[in-house]
Amino acid sequence: MLHLDAAATSPVREEALAAAWPFLTASFGNPSSTHGLGEQASAALADARTAVAAVLGCRSSEVVFTSGGTEANNLAIKGIALGKPRGRHLVTSRVEHESVLASADYLARLHGFEVTFVDVDAAGLVSEESLAAALREDTTLVSLATANNEVGTVQDITALVAVAQARGVPFHTDAIQAAGSLDVSMTATGVDAVSLSGHKLGAPKGVGVLAVRSRRPLEPLIHGGGQERGRRSGTENVAFAVAFAVALRLADADRRAEAEHRPPASIGDLPSSPRDVFVADVLSRIPDARLTGHASARLPRHASFVLPGVNGETVLLELERRGVLASAGAACAAGHDEPSHVLLALGIPEDDARTALRFTWGASTTSLDLGGVAETLADVFETVTALSRSSTLH
């Protein structure tokens, strides 16, 4: 099977598993214990925190380990908004992950916040002008993803952060899809808070990180023993924190190495990156297909389409039967009958949104692999279209 659903999850890296294993076995101490076993766990946790901070360009004291990206987003949005609010107004967009939208809804329903959804264009981009127009004197937080999980569009986060900072508004970004593909360090982007998820990077499921600048008060969501400097109570998962640190370091090293060897954006009028070659191949083989998201400002290993006239789930099932694993969009929304809220926010008709396909891959996937997928997809599209026409006639 060829796994082209990397945006949903990734396999655990052997190095991350090896680093975590001692803390799942012999070195099982509680990092809050004062004996030798506990001190060993505490030291490993501190080292993991330092390693994460080095990649994210922040202090180790600003790193909070969580149970995953969803918790990190919840803690960022609710925690900053309720920590020391200068008002009860939040700015986000309608193309964000459900954990961001649900957190905004929570603040609106239970804490009287007003939420402004900043406009996005047909590719999902937020302009500096749109963000500036959405900000108010009582805006307490802006939360916009670095890269969209469904359509791959990458925001100009640095420019958007500058707009918010000029008005003194804290800025949180969900960088879960971007980490490992883009530089998500806080020094590079200027954000006040950034969320990451371990299993998108090669760590186990069940661990994530929120890095938040110490100048931003953070109201905890989980209360108890005061672990994570009072920001997230509960005995720390040392093994998974260690695995996360290793996976993040390796993913960032791979990103930097790949960036050094990446070809120019284009050579004449020809696409040069494996992503762009794959997109061009699919669009040439299936004239009815349409790329979703931005054509160039998108993640380097992400291609998403709508295929009007066919059922997306039927196409996915047939692709799997032929050895290709892809998705219709966000895995956490899989099984729902409603079309993607992201695609609807981009102005894509509901019927077309139901035909969505997303192909996302890891560094080991080759151009040859992608070429084979484009050919297989075209054949599947033709087969499904023919069956659909046949059933309509009968």
332 is catalytic: yes
For residues 379 and 117, give the distance between their C-alpha atoms in angstroms, rounded to a whole number: 40
Neighbours of 84 (CB within 10 A): 12
Question: Which amino acid appears at position 209 of this protein?
Answer: V
Catalytic residue among 162, 221, 332, 345: 332
Site of tokens 């009968």 = 394
Please name the residues in contact with 359: beta carbons below 8 A apart, sequence gap of 6 or more. Answer: 4, 278, 302, 303, 304, 326, 373
The letter for the amino acid at 175 is A
| 220 neighbors 34 (Cβ within 8 angstroms) | no
Catalytic residues, which ones? 332
